[in-house]
A and B are shown apart, each in its own frame.
Chain A
Amino acid sequence: MSGSSTDKARSNSFEPTPDVVAILKERARFVRLETIRLIEIAKTGHYTSVFSAAEIFAALYYDVMQLRRGEPKWAGRDRFTIGKGHAAVGLFPIYADLGFFPKEWLDRYTRLGSPLGDHPDMRKVPGVDFSSGSIGHALSNALGMVLAQRWTGEEDYRVFCMMGDGEMQEGQVWEAAINAAQHRARNLIAIIDRNGYQLDGRVDDLMNIEPLDEKWRAFGWEVHTVDGHDVAKVTELLRRVRADDERDKPCVIIAKTSKGRGVSYMETEPGWHLGYLDPSDAEKAVAEINALDA
């Protein structure tokens, strides 16, 4: 865990109540089920990239982030950028649920003229704080939001940035990492979805990114590690780092996750990075997800 955690940050005051945990588990389930429903419309999509991040999405949007329902452009909101933009199919149902756009939009996911495509588009989708699709930009985008906030001093918000673990192979990530540490971008909180896989196979077989925690620490960041599917732990940690006003550096959370979490055969077969479930198989996947006690 962090080498610089304060006593306050170690306290349990951030632990979510069982009621909250139950709600967040249900929201993570909602994200997975909606992902299956939307990909059925598109006939192709990134199920597993969402499934590894579902608990984190739920914790951020339904608990940790400072947001206002129905006000996606509220100036005081916490921002979220995502490098693994192909997981947007799991974010769109949340944005609709939060009243950022009409739920009917979801039913036309990826159809001609839909604002909702495989990647999140800030020009088209209320709730998307920055567009994504080209991997490696998101941490810089988030840093810019923190630097602007510092200059204007108008709003007190945090900027969360989720990146994939394969994304660690992009050079720009490390440019942004050095730059953020230099600027002591304390309101920048990165989350790495460490699910272990990228398109061509295991991340560490293709281009090993370990020791990841030591890398980030060496780059001047506060580093935390968490089980990304333990929604109680994820929520507690995110609440803690969000509230920590003594930290004087950016912070990264390495979330150990399982790609395809919730659907057994997806968890063991990396080829599911991109795919499609026939409705008969989708039914079985839905049953597994409903049985999951994340």
Chain B
Amino acid sequence: MNGPLSPNSWQYRGLNAVNPGLDHLSNGLIDLVKAGHNVMAGSADLQYSNGLNRFAAAYPDRYISFGISEQNMVSTAAGIATCGVVPFVATFASFLALLACEQIRMDIAYSAQPVRLVGHHTGISLGFYGTSHHATEDIAIMRSIADLAVVSPADGPQLEAAIRASADYDKPIYFRIGRGRDPVVYKETPTFKFGKAHEHLKGDELTIIACGMAVHGALEAASAMNAEGHSVGVIDMACIKPLDRDAILEAASRSKKMKIMTVEEHNVLGGLGGAVAEVLADEGIGVKLKRHGIYDEYSLIAPPTHLYAHYKLDAAGIRSVAEAFIA
């Protein structure tokens, strides 16, 4: 080829340049190192996809390349943790939570090792890469593993806050994060507390409880509906386990006409919606519940934004589902 490449061209190792949203994971880890925490990081051949290349460049001695060996990566991280070092290991959520599930249960959770598992490009965010690369089961699987926290930040700044908060959390954690292109919800620096939801809006007609990339769409949908006279609240349930039961119960009990809707980039079975349903049923709260997400099916092939529109996980889609639900 003659001459310079078009500015629109990019190649894999330059992903950070075209997607600065990838920097949040490394930023969070670099913060931990600077604060004096003994952390390491590793990835299974995806350091440019999850942005850990920045951490690896900053602290090469603290970064471990695991090749394409996800199960080995998880078990090795467990061994590292026994020696007083806290490892963050990252790969696509589909491979981490499904391929290495048994290693996570035995070597991390049951063995009580404070490993931080980072499943990125979760949900259907890998679009046309197809079902092998989608993770619409990971919340259900990970939250059924005892002693494992499950955290699904709404955006990059909240991920950084959650990573900072993890320094004081001694149990293992599964972080479920997107592809680094999630619209920003938290323009100001967010706080994150394990076991605490963040209530953005209070409503007395409908409360939308969302996690991950769905939070942004839920907020836009609620604002639009509220502008038309509805009363719609939004709770960001970034910490799916331990779950903020009080926040759910408080919202559900706020008014007699209250309905609850959950939104997640996940199968409607077993994920955030399942967790909320369990709380409501446990407490005998007879509130109408709509669990919105992927309806127990495998996603079509398409670019992610097209899929979000198709599956009604963008603001317009969430709004249409919510309006139909309260009609």
Q: Is A191 an interface residue (CB 8 A)?
A: no
For B51-89 the 0/1 string (1 means CB < 8 A from A) is 000000000011011110101111111111111110100
Q: Tell whether A22 is near chain B: CB-to-CB under 8 Å.
A: no
Asked if A66 is an interface residue, CB under 8 A from chain B, the answer is no
The contact string, 1 if C-beta is below 8 Å from chain B, for chain A 218-246, is: 00000000000000000000000000000
A sample of 14 inter-chain contacts (CB < 8 A) reads: A130-B107, A137-B107, A140-B103, A140-B107, A141-B76, A143-B79, A144-B78, A145-B80, A148-B85, A151-B62, A152-B85, A176-B75, A178-B69, A179-B69
B19 at the interface (CB under 8 A from A): no
Q: Interface residue count for B (Cβ, 8 Å)?
A: 32
Q: Which residues of A contact B74 (CB under 8 A)?
A: 140
**For the complex of A and B, 9 pairs with smallest distance between CB atoms:** A144-B79, A140-B75, A175-B69, A148-B83, A175-B72, A144-B76, A144-B80, A141-B79, A148-B80
**Interface range on chain A (Cβ under 8 Å from partner):** 20 to 34
Q: Which of B20-65 contact A (CB under 8 A)?
A: 38, 40, 61-62, 64-65
Say yes or no for A2: interface residue by CB 8 A criterion.
no
B305 an interface residue at 8 Å Cβ cutoff? no
In this assembly, does A134 line the interface, its C-beta being within 8 Å of a C-beta of chain B? yes
- The answer to whether the Cβ of B255 comes within 8 Å of any Cβ in the partner chain is no
Q: Is B110 an interface residue (CB 8 A)?
A: yes
**B106 contacts A by Cβ under 8 Å:** yes
Across the interface, which residues of B come within 8 angstroms of A137, CB to CB?
Answer: 71, 75, 103, 106-107
Contacting pair A141 B84 (CB below 8 A): no
Please state if A172 and B38 are interface contacts (CB–CB under 8 Å): no
Q: Is A149 in contact with B83, judged by CB distance below 8 angstroms?
A: yes
Most buried by B among A130, A143, A144, A151: A144
Chain A: which residue is nearest B42 at the CB level?
A147
Within residues 81 to 134 of chain B, which ones have a CB less than 8 A from any CB in chain A?
Answer: 81-85, 87, 102-103, 106-107, 110-112
Question: Chain B contacts of A143 at CB under 8 A?
Answer: 72, 76, 79
A255 interfacial contact with B, CB 8 Å: no
Chain B residue contacts of A115, Cβ below 8 A: none
> For the complex, is A182 an interface residue (Cβ under 8 Å from B)?
yes
Q: In the complex, how many angstroms separate the beta carbon of B103 from the nearest chain A beta carbon?
A: 6
A131 within 8 A of B: yes
Min Cβ gap A79→B in Å is 8
Report the nearest A residue to B71, measured CB to CB. Answer: A172
Contact partner, A130, options B38, B61, B79, B84, Cβ 8 Å: B79
User: Could you tell me if B106 and A129 are in contact, using CB atoms closer than 8 angstroms?
Assistant: no
